[in-house]
Amino acid sequence: MEIANSNQELRAEIAKANQERKAENEALRRELKAENAEIREDIRRVEDKVDESNQRIARLEGIILAREGLVETIID
């Protein structure tokens, strides 16, 4: 009888520990998902800034080439 009670207590403790572990794992999963979403948003923001910078550089290069063309035209 004592062994049966002891086994039941152990099973109950194991079940409780498993439930706690599952709850902790789920909380960690949610936290990681949120952090992952934030990182993805940061990456999108950086990519947008890089695209904007590349467009600006292309415009500036165009302006420089146009000015060089004007200078060559004036000199000729």
Residue for token digits 């572990």? 21
57 closest CA partner among 69, 67, 49, 68 = 49
Q: Is the pTM higher than 0.85?
A: no
Q: How far apart are CA 28 and CA 39, in angstroms?
A: 16
**Tens digit of pLDDT for each residue in 5-42?**
899 999 999 999 999 999 999 999 999 999 999 999 99
Measured in whole angstroms, the distance separating CA 66 from the mean position of its chain's CA atoms is: 41
Confidence of residue 68 (pLDDT cuts 50, 70, 90): confident
Predicted pLDDT at 76: 62
